[in-house]
Structure 1
């Protein structure tokens, strides 16, 4: 089976979900091709879209939140949004690409390519199986105007939300958000710490701002330093935010209890090595943490889908989310000291968040591909048989 995975550079979560399924496909012996589909129109197009998104989220999160709310309102009254028309322009590029390749399925962990696929379907262009993967614990604006064959959602509670928004229930599959199998594997904490050159003794807190290094990294680090107790360490991951990385690296270079990290491909190792995670409630990061089984303190969300993610996690006991920076640091310490409460959170994470979503998605693609192949074979047989039969119209005319 050959699968095309189309993502987009608006946050690292979409890529992470796509790579998780790619990994699972290749482990089963299938072929997977994944890329940012906007590059089909040129690297400049991809860079522009990504830069606008990232800069808005990092520098003007409330503007992003306002746009999200406008989108939610517009999705209730519009049959086709501006997002649809913009992404429809990608149809010609994707059509040309698909004509040079032969894929059995297209997987989309992002709304934008799903909008393009929808436009192409409405133009009568023949396409392989099209499966969308939602990477948040809600239904973001405009998914309802797409026409994919199936939609993989994060949890069974999302089914009712999506149906209310207009997506047919029979197309909704609550298989979870796919994460790499590395996060579900158990690892010895001491070995993980030694590998990352972190102190073997004491309590190590992990602070993250997602792939963009967004959120209150500086404020949380300052609060941790003000209230730090003996034997406590803090690892801060700045992601792609090079400016934040350089600033914090310089500021805390004399503090032996703070470890500042930039972009890393070893996130699963850090989650195994540390005792507690502070992170904004991104869909992928939160899922990776829950699958890893690390207690979570959710920090301030980027307004929009992250607000819904935080609400879902708190509701199911998968995280705590005090409103202030002071409360987040304090309550995180209290949670870690209360082993019964921390273990209850980890148990809830195991029960609510599946670690094998990527494998389930691969099984889905295999199953639907078989059905499609069987139907095609049956159609070929019927066509062959019909070609040897007298014309019905001739028989009917003879009777007349």
Structure 2
């Protein structure tokens, strides 16, 4: 088996799922590679798509785009603009697959799944193809794809996928791939010592530790949340705020909170696993991948405001299954976080629900499927 993983840089979740699978496959001796199919056209194209996606999330346009996709997807009689756009680079993707001898192709993003569908419908691609869903809903336009296998995040989503037009026999509720670091756990005290050293924080080891993650693109009303934590906890809380790639957000927050020794403002970091091990509660927007990582890690989650669309569905799914608490109100978010710190039974119920519903074994099960 020689396997190609395809993802796109519209949010880091798709890439993280691909990297998790890549890590596991390499550890198990599978020849594999991961690439962005848009880079096969020109590398600026990939950046342009990412920039457009970022623009839409910050101007509340993504909600409109998502609803348009749902409308188109409910009764496709014509191929969607999304399909047609990704069909444009399908030949170059085919050449790359054939020239490099890949016999299996896994997508963690809709765009390459559309391109592969175009190749299959043209009768040009006889490789095994897989689409790994990274959100807890059947996202718009998925039904117009036609791949061999679909990896679904949870068994309770199978019926939704069937209703949206996917074939039941192609659906495998294995979960979302997460890297080994999130499948393992470091003792809280040890993790806090490591965080203090890694981020030169001088944090109080006995305080409540809150991790605030705004996503790789720095989305959300983080300042209001930090103000509320300071108002309620004062020096009794250490707040680690991850701003992602949003340097402007980090600069704005530093101007307001830079004088507080217990507010630690971080940019993009590859130490999220360690930060989760160290924290008492994670505040995060409901990205499918980041939420799954935290649930597999078994960290209490408070979901903050979602990017309208699939993240709204993620928040609903997690909240309904008891894996997180979701609220749009900052005061309520902090109230629940403090309860999770102080109420052992409440915290344990959430962690138990995470263990029941979050599958950390997705990579192994996907590999077993591909080896059949």
Q: Secondary structure at the match of 2:102?
A: coil
After TM superposition, the structure 1 stretch with the greater mean CA deviation from structure 2, 194-203 or 167-176, is 194-203
* Alpha-carbon separation, structure 2, partners of 1:133 and 1:90: 21
Correspondence for 1:278: 283
Q: CA deviation at 1:139?
A: 0.3
Q: Distance in 2 between matches of 1:285 and 1:304?
A: 16
Tell me how far 1:230 sits from its aligned partner: 4.2
> How well do the aligned residues superpose, as a CA RMSD in angstroms?
1.1
SS at match of 1:228: helix
Deviations 1:305-357 (A, max 9, x none): 11110111111110111231111112211222111000110011011101111
Partner residue, 1:259: 264
Residue 18 of structure 1, CA deviation: 0.3
Q: Could you report, residue by residue, the CA deviation over 1:40-84 in whole angstroms, capped at 9, with x for unpaired residues? A: 000111111110001211x21x32111101110111122421111
- Which position in structure 1 is the counterpart of 2:349? 344
Whether the aligned pair in 1 keeps the contact of 2:208 and 2:341 (CA below 8 Å) is no
Matched with 1:394 is none
2:56 and 2:337 map into 1 onto residues whose CA distance is: 29
Structure 2 residue aligned with 1:301: 306
**Corresponding residue for residue 171 of structure 1:** 170
Residue 111 (structure 2) pairs with residue 106 (structure 1): no
Q: Which residue is equivalent to 1:373? A: none
User: Which residue of the other structure, out of 222, 226, 247, is the alignment partner of 1:221?
Assistant: 226
Q: Distance in 1 between matches of 2:54 and 2:367?
A: 30
1:204 aligns with 2:204: no
CA distance in 2, matches of 1:16, 1:32: 16
Greater shift, 309-318 or 91-100, is seen at 91-100
Alignment of 1:1-400 (within 5 A): 1-57=1-57, 59-60=58-59, 62-79=60-77, 80-197=79-196, 198-367=203-372
Whole-angstrom CA distance in 2 between matches of 1:192 and 1:156: 33
TM-score (norm 1): 0.89
Stretch moving more, 334-343 or 13-22: 334-343
Normalised TM-score (structure 2):
0.96
**Cα contact 2:87–2:118 (8 A) shared by 1:** yes
Please state whether the residue corresponding to 2:371 is helix, strand or coil: helix
> Secondary structure at the residue paired with 2:326?
coil
CA distance in 2, matches of 1:36, 1:199: 42
Note the residue ranges of structure 1 that are not aligned, 5 or more in a row: 368-400
The gaps in structure 2 that reach 5 residues or longer are: 197-202
- The alpha-carbon deviation at position 250 of structure 1 amounts to 3.4
State the alpha-carbon separation in 1 of the partners of residues 246 and 300 from structure 2: 25
Compare CA radii of gyration and give the structure with the larger one: 1
Measured in 1, the distance between the counterparts of 2:297 and 2:181 equals 9
Q: Deviations over 1:202-255 (max 9, x none)?
A: 110111111111012122112222222442111100011111122223332210
Q: 1:130: Cα distance to partner?
A: 0.2
> Residues 193 and 199 of structure 1 are in contact (CA less than 8 Å); yes or no, is this contact kept in structure 2?
no
